[in-house]
Amino acid sequence: MGDPSPKIVRFPETGPLLVCTDLHGNLPDFLRMKELFLAARAEAGCCQLLFLGDLVHGPAFTREEWPDYLGSFYVDHSAALLEAFMTLQETFPGEVHCLLGNHEHSHVGGPHTPKFWLDETAHFEQKVGPIASRRYRALFSGFPLIAISPCGVVFSHAAPNISLTSLEEIEAIEYLGHERMNLLTLETMPMLGRLLWARRCPTKVVQRFLEVVSAETKGEHGVVVYGHDIAPSGFEHFGAELLMLSTSFGLDDPCKTPARP
Ligand SMILES: [Mn+2]
């Protein structure tokens, strides 16, 4: 049976859209986005807020142990961040979204992730307990995979290193049953794996991806914005088609845009 949750978010024609990625339990960064969202909403009368996945699973170091390569210090507040996200989503229905990241997928059918703990999927569920784990799995199961804005931008968690022939292929993706996915070579990964794990993407592949999206939405889509990786200056672009926004960790606070007051 197919998953009934839509895998594609389609944004309205007008209004501001705020995008942020890979918070990995960084609650102050989430609250900053919330503040910007509320301000933009008050000014414009509407606003869309999009996270590109990996809300959860943060570093487990004390301030003393914190390595330089992880950027500005923060404490992992993954569960509190999810609670704040759900509250915001309930308060503003249809305006707050999060794409599925590989870290959320690890709770609903993907391979368990070993970034900051040997098995941080099991670690997180053990920490929050079975009742909260069930709620969070239900939340993650409903996360979409890509978002499309009529202004010409498409959003995904990782680089869209997939050969897409129709958007229906994305709608048909199932999250369950990928626990043993081979993460070592992209070639062996299914479409879902590539959408959640690819760090880069050849120009021809992203151009083809954008052609398919443009043809099916009768739009002119020229850019894919994604996250999943560290860009020390906050963002990085590859050619004209790919814009990567950095993860929260691995980056000093002044390099996060817009800058904190
Ligand atoms: Mn990721």
Cα–Cα distance measured from residue 21 to residue 29, given in angstroms and rounded to the nearest whole number:
10
Cα–Cα distance measured from residue 57 to residue 55, given in angstroms and rounded to the nearest whole number:
7
Calculate helix-pair angle for 78-91, 120-141, nearest 10 degrees: 10
Residue 142 Cα to ligand 1 middle (Å): 17
What pLDDT does 257 receive? 67
Q: Who contacts 148 (Cβ-Cβ below 8 Å, separation ≥6)?
A: 8, 9, 10, 11, 154, 155, 213, 217, 219, 221
Taking alpha carbons only, the member of 197, 219, 221 closest to residue 208 is 221
Residue 11 Cα to ligand 1 middle (Å): 23
Taking alpha carbons only, the member of 189, 192, 156, 190 closest to residue 175 is 192
Residue 170 Cα to ligand 1 middle (Å): 18
Domains annotated for the chain, with CATH where assigned, are 8-255 (3.60.21.10)
Mean pLDDT, rounded, for 48-72: 95
Cα–Cα distance measured from residue 166 to residue 143, given in angstroms and rounded to the nearest whole number:
20
Residue 55 Cα to ligand 1 middle (Å): 9
Residue 240 Cα to ligand 1 middle (Å): 22
Residue 214 Cα to ligand 1 middle (Å): 26
What pLDDT does 183 receive? 85
Q: How far is CA 210 from CA 82, 95, 185, 186, 195, in A?
A: 31, 24, 24, 20, 14
3-state helix, strand, coil split of the chain in percent (to 5) is: 35, 15, 50
What pLDDT does 1 receive? 41
Q: Can you spell out the DSSP letters for 89-136?
A: HHHSTTTEEEPPPHHHHTTTTSPPP-SSSTTHHHHHHHHHHHHHHHHH
pLDDT digit string, tens, across residues 8-47? 999 999 999 999 999 999 999 999 999 999 999 999 999 9
Residue 115 Cα to ligand 1 middle (Å): 10
Residue 254 Cα to ligand 1 middle (Å): 22
Residue 152 Cα to ligand 1 middle (Å): 23
Mean pLDDT, rounded, for 129-138: 98
Residue 108 Cα to ligand 1 middle (Å): 15
What pLDDT does 92 receive? 97
Residue 104 Cα to ligand 1 middle (Å): 9
Residue 59 Cα to ligand 1 middle (Å): 14
pLDDT digit string, tens, across residues 73-90? 999 999 999 999 999 999
Residue 43 Cα to ligand 1 middle (Å): 32
Residue 29 Cα to ligand 1 middle (Å): 17
What pLDDT does 186 receive? 80
Residue 56 Cα to ligand 1 middle (Å): 10
Residue 57 Cα to ligand 1 middle (Å): 10
Q: Are 179 and 112 in contact (CB under 8 A)?
A: yes
Residue 54 Cα to ligand 1 middle (Å): 6
